[in-house]
Structure 1
């Protein structure tokens, strides 16, 4: 599999320069419970899509939010697992981002508020993710896809590797899939990540995994099986610590014979599609993601 490289758009270069200058005045994100409110405020700055209603709901006893386009088909659904290092983040904060996938792919999307550590460490989130997918399938959602960003991307991949439910597509944005932090880009000084800190990732991994080995595939799906996955699309930036993890899982899927596309975006930072209002790369990544979903669940 050849990774698909996207050159840095000149206008995006200017935006990223300004963004880096602004981020340099702020402390990097701390992945601790005390940061939950501020993190949600930051994530929810993504503008919402038009023509989508937001409704609270629960699936398999897991509360969350639905993004429902006016033209959504009742037998199809997307489940999106939000990011936040398994410690922070919420379904409500990520609705605006997910609403764009729902609106353009014409599919209802459920964002579960899965259990967070340290109050509920592994395997709580993993068990809930499996239960959500299982219940949606049993409840008549015959066509299912799952997606996730950052830690939610790792949770989505671990779920896809473990569930017995037939999935049509798997979409990952800057996925965190190796909590051992052994990917080269984690320690590469040339990767100038203005958002993530290795120490913050390590602390979050410790809180989430607890006494369990971080090489457990349910925690770090990088070490799981890639032989039975649905078609997969991955987006990652070159300016983020998790770059090599995304590339590695793409390579593993390709070796297994499954269909995969890994889009590598020059100069982009962690979960850059959140910046739909200002980055052309974010809009292009969204368009590619919607096309992928349309192809497999449209």
Structure 2
């Protein structure tokens, strides 16, 4: 692999001081996430998802009857359709399907369970549009990965049909922050650090919520019955153990789960797929996984 590509992304991320306020953090993530724009052949369409802003995307020759419903990362406090547009649209191209990205409500203005409620609203919107559950893949990166799992848990609780599969990129699965790589990878991860995660969790969770509650920390959920799941994570992530421990727990629950650990990659590296060849390869693998089950 050409190390200069990932080093260029690291330089982009460190080119400005880490912002402090929520508005500044949201603006910065939008900036670094959208530095390479969406491809010109992607068709975009804004949609009102029962009061939640959403965006359809479709690449040429993709199947509009099959959908990737995607939840962006950002620690439940930042991230947007804009910051993740290049990632989502290229994932849809790789899978050969339409995508629906959701701008769920953010904390601290809208703490838990607002994001979970919006995710459920998006799922039910798709179902009412006539999209069969077996034609839907759920996906998310970082906090969006945790939100994906929270939605599946809610569907299981309500005895609803489940999606065909789930794709989790650098998922945040443990808001107790007990993973050892939060310490061992702290010096190499340019994005996610322990103190920052604690701040995000404090903003997302109202007082009195147990951080082992499976609705916020799916690592501690009963994982039996999850649909086939692909987890992709970089070796240079503080959240590496959030992925590896979840895979162990899911495998023990007889879930068809696949783990990919990508050497030298950082948190949610396929965001920069336009510049980063391993980002394009990771999306190609995710696309092949979704096609297998859709």
Compute the TM-score of the two structures, normalised by the length of structure 1. Answer: 0.90
CA contact (8 A) 1:31 1:204 kept: no
- For 1:75 and 1:22, how far apart are their aligned partners in 2? 37
**1:271 has 2:268 as partner:** yes
Aligned counterpart for 2:70 among listed residues 73, 80, 84: 80
Alpha-carbon distance in structure 2 between the residues aligned to 1:255 and 1:237: 23
Residue 120 of structure 2 corresponds to residue 130 of structure 1 = yes
Is residue 185–residue 237 contact of structure 2 (8 Å, CA) maintained in 1? no
From 148, 166, 179, the counterpart of 2:140? 148
After TM superposition, give the deviation of residue 21 of structure 1 in Å: 5.1
- d(CA) in 2 for partners of 1:96 and 1:205? 27
Alignment equivalent of 1:168, drawn from 146, 154, 164 = 164
User: 1:21-40 residue pairs with structure 2 within 5 A?
Assistant: 23-28=13-18, 32-40=22-30
Residue in 2 that maps onto 1:214: 211
Contact 1:52 1:67 in 2 (8 A): yes
List per-residue Cα deviations over 1:109-152 (Å, max 9, x = no partner): 11111010111100000111112112212321111111001111
The residue correspondences of 1:61-210 to structure 2 (distance < 5 A) are: 61-142=51-132, 143-163=135-155, 164-188=160-184, 192-210=188-206
CA distance in 1, matches of 2:136, 2:222: 20
Cα distance change of structure 1 residues 210 and 230 upon mapping to structure 2, 3 Å threshold:
same
Superposition deviation, residue 154 in structure 1:
0.8
- 8 Å contact from structure 1 (residues 81, 149) kept in 2: yes
Give the length in aligned residue pairs. Answer: 287
Contact 1:65 1:92 in 2 (8 A): no
Structure 1 spans left out of the alignment, 5+ residues = 1-8
Q: From the superposition, tell whether residues 73 and 215 of structure 1 become closer, same or farther in structure 2 (CA, over 3 Å).
A: same
Deviation at 1:37, TM superposition (A): 1.4
* Shift, 1:284, TM fit: 1.2
- Over 3 Å counting, the alpha-carbon distance change for 1:110 and 1:19 in structure 2 is closer
What SS class does the counterpart of residue 96 from structure 1 fall into? helix
Moved more, 171-180 or 33-42: 33-42
Highest RCO, 1 vs 2 (Cα 8 Å, sep ≥ 6)? 1
User: Partners of 2:36 and 2:103 in 1: how far apart?
Assistant: 19
CA–CA distance in structure 1, aligned partners of residues 110 and 193 of structure 2: 23
CA distance in 1, matches of 2:21, 2:153: 26
Partners of 2:13 and 2:32 within 8 A in 1? no
Unaligned runs of 5+ in 2: none
Scaled by the length of structure 2, what TM-score is found? 0.91
Secondary structure at the counterpart of residue 78 of structure 1: strand
- Alignment partner of 2:247: what SS? helix
Deviation at 1:268, TM superposition (A): 0.8
1:216 CA displacement: 1.2
**Which residue of the partner structure matches residue 227 of structure 1?**
224
Q: In structure 1, how many angstroms separate the alpha carbons of the residues matched to 2:140 and 2:25?
A: 20
Root mean square deviation of aligned Cα: 1.9
More displaced 10-residue stretch of structure 1: 181-190 or 28-37: 28-37
Q: Take 2:117 and 2:103, find their aligned partners in 1: how far apart are those partners?
A: 13
